[in-house]
Amino acid sequence: MSASTADLDVVRDYWNRRPCNVRHSQARIGSKEYFDQVEARKYMVEPHIPAFADFAFWKGKRVLEIGCGLGTDATNFARAGANYTGIELSSASLGLTKKRFEIFGLSGTFYLGNAEELNEIIPSQKFDLIYSFGVIHHTPNPGRVIEAAKNYLDTGSEFRLMLYAKHSWKAAMIDAGMDQPEAQSGCPIAFTYTKEEVADLMRGYEIINMQQDHIFPYIVEKYVKYEYELQPWFAAMPKEMFRALEQHFGWHMLIRARLLA
């Protein structure tokens, strides 16, 4: 087994043990109520996602999502009328996405597998959008995913992805031992990037836009009990000041790119 294959097994196990956002609701897992609550909490805590994804824009268009997790954004692309395809490494996560599509009467095409091997898994075709939110920094070889994605893009297509930002409040807190990359501890891989490193990773692409957003402002001990109280230092801060902080030192690097002509 090569080193990167071993790494990938650890990554898969981690996301299978606890799919991303799986505790966003206390309702019966897999129920309609559960998925509605997961969505409400996700977009309350990460309100920049709907604007970045711009679900309605992709009506009637072909969308490929890399790393759909338990399918919150997937559901919204499909609901908006996109022709949706998703790939996910974790069977526990993909199972929930499929169940979610069933419950909401949506249709999509799903692949279980490693996005680094995209070209061996998803038959050759073009998509109008490749979307990947908070995924590619978790795989052992992010460059392989970025490279493989090129084969599914036309000159008019877009690639929208979120990668973790190195120059961020969150990364500073992680470095200081006061935070961790994910809600659950022990995340095996979570690369972070400067804007220059993103440009280097995305060789062969033209970056249309790159901006930082998102600082998690709540007291974690309360948040896990579904109570939303701001950390005192953020509560004391004028809203405009907090927004400025998010835009300069946010954890999420929101990237829009297309193939270089």
Site residues (vs ligand SAM, CB under 6 A): 11, 15, 20-21, 67-69, 72-73, 87-90, 93, 114-116, 133-135, 138-139
Sheet with 127-133, side-by-side order of all strands: 108-112, 83-88, 62-66, 127-133, 153-164, 252-259, 205-213
Min dist CB 25 to ligand SAM, Å, is 14
Give the Cα separation of 261 and 258 in Å (integer).
9
Min dist CB 132 to ligand SAM, Å, is 7
Q: Which is nearer to ligand SAM, 64 or 202 (CB)?
A: 64
Min dist CB 16 to ligand SAM, Å, is 8
Write the DSSP symbol of residue 190.
Answer: -
Min dist CB 144 to ligand SAM, Å, is 9
Q: Which is nearer to ligand SAM, 88 or 128 (CB)?
A: 88
Q: Which is nearer to ligand SAM, 52 or 240 (CB)?
A: 52
Q: Which is nearer to ligand SAM, 83 or 90 (CB)?
A: 90
Q: Which is nearer to ligand SAM, 95 or 134 (CB)?
A: 134
Strand partners, 158: 129
- Dihedral of CA 162/156/88/20: which sign? positive
Min dist CB 37 to ligand SAM, Å, is 14
